[in-house]
Structure 1
Amino acid sequence: MRKITALTAAVLTVASVLTHTASAQQPGIKRTDLQRHDLSVPGREVNQVLIEFGPGISFPKHSHPGEEVVYVVDGSLEYALDGRPPVTLRAGEALFIPAGTPHAVKNVGSGTAAELATYIVEKGKPLLVLSPTSPK
């Protein structure tokens, strides 16, 4: 039984790394992992990532296994959350994205845009899950 548990944990870890790596390697997007820590709430962790988007670059509809708090550091980014009209944020503005909410983001400015994304998520799950309608 321990071997099965260890194998399951290894598979989940590899899947998480592959999902994260795939999103990190998308042309025009640069991800810099800043920190990852366990929280005092069992089974939860916080991840903080700086994400830079080249001009006109977008990231397709996806969700996270927890909340995301976005702070736009530079430029203008448009966020399209399911069930809401799109919202454009500029440097210095923030957005809360509820757990599991499908959303997409696009750089709508003329230069590079950047966000500080803080994820409060379930530990051991992939940080990012592409929506079925999104290209892979």
Structure 2
Amino acid sequence: MADEQAKPHPPDALAGTLKRTEVQRRESSIPGRIIVQVLTEIPEGVESGWHTHPGEEVGYIVAGTVEMRIHGSDTLLLHAGNGFLIPPDTPHNARDLGPGVGHMLSTYIVSPEAPLASFVEAAG
């Protein structure tokens, strides 16, 4: 699999709101998909804002406690050590409840042509 670090890619809307560090970006064995891994830091009390991804998000809470609201699903209360899965194009919003800065490691299996994250209207 070729490393895609040097290729330009669509913007990530969340990068302007939260500290997001791209760990790796690789081609996937799934046609039309790439795998992008991102470490996100969310200050205590801050929300990501309602957003979607153009594919699955497989996440893991590294530090902190996160309230994950997912459109059409029950709200999740995630602690360090918990994992989560967000289906493609599903609006969701993460809020760090503390203590301190929350850290989430997310692996996205997404279309390479679309932005990694896009803000949407608040969902119920």
The bucket for the TM-score relative to the shorter chain is 0.7 to 0.9
Q: Residue 9 of structure 1 corresponds to which residue in structure 2?
A: none
* 1:99 aligned counterpart, secondary structure: coil
Overall identity of the aligned pairs, in %:
39
Q: Which 5+ residue runs of structure 2 have no aligned equivalent?
A: 1-7
Give the letter for the 1:38 counterpart. E
Return the alpha-carbon distance in structure 2 between the equivalents of residues 132 and 112 of structure 1. 25
Alpha-carbon offset, residue 23 of structure 1: 2.1
Give the TM-score of the pair, scaled to structure 2. 0.87
* 2:14 aligned counterpart, secondary structure: helix
Q: Residue 46 of structure 2 corresponds to which residue in structure 1?
A: 57
Return the alpha-carbon distance in structure 1 between the equivalents of residues 85 and 93 of structure 2. 13
Return the alpha-carbon distance in structure 1 between the equivalents of residues 33 and 54 of structure 2. 10
Q: Counterparts of 1:23-38 in structure 2 under 5 Å? A: 23-26=14-17, 29-38=18-27
Q: Is residue 58 of structure 2 the alignment partner of residue 69 of structure 1?
A: yes
* 1:126 aligned counterpart, secondary structure: coil
Alpha-carbon offset, residue 110 of structure 1: 2.7
Q: Which of 41, 49, 59 is the aligned partner of 2:30?
A: 41
Alpha-carbon offset, residue 53 of structure 1: 0.7
Q: Which 5+ residue runs of structure 1 have no aligned equivalent?
A: 1-12
Give the TM-score of the pair, scaled to structure 1. 0.79
Return the alpha-carbon distance in structure 2 between the equivalents of residues 130 and 77 of structure 1. 19
Return the alpha-carbon distance in structure 2 between the equivalents of residues 130 and 103 of structure 1. 10
Return the alpha-carbon distance in structure 2 between the equivalents of residues 25 and 98 of structure 1. 23
* 1:127 aligned counterpart, secondary structure: coil
Alpha-carbon offset, residue 24 of structure 1: 1.5
Alpha-carbon offset, residue 132 of structure 1: 3.1
Q: Quick check: which one's helix share is greater?
A: 1
How has the CA–CA distance of structure 1 residues 57 and 98 changed in structure 2, closer, same or farther, with 3 Å as cutoff? same
Corresponding residue pairs, total? 116
Alpha-carbon offset, residue 133 of structure 1: 4.1
Q: Residue 5 of structure 2 corresponds to which residue in structure 1?
A: none
Return the alpha-carbon distance in structure 2 between the equivalents of residues 41 and 23 of structure 1. 25
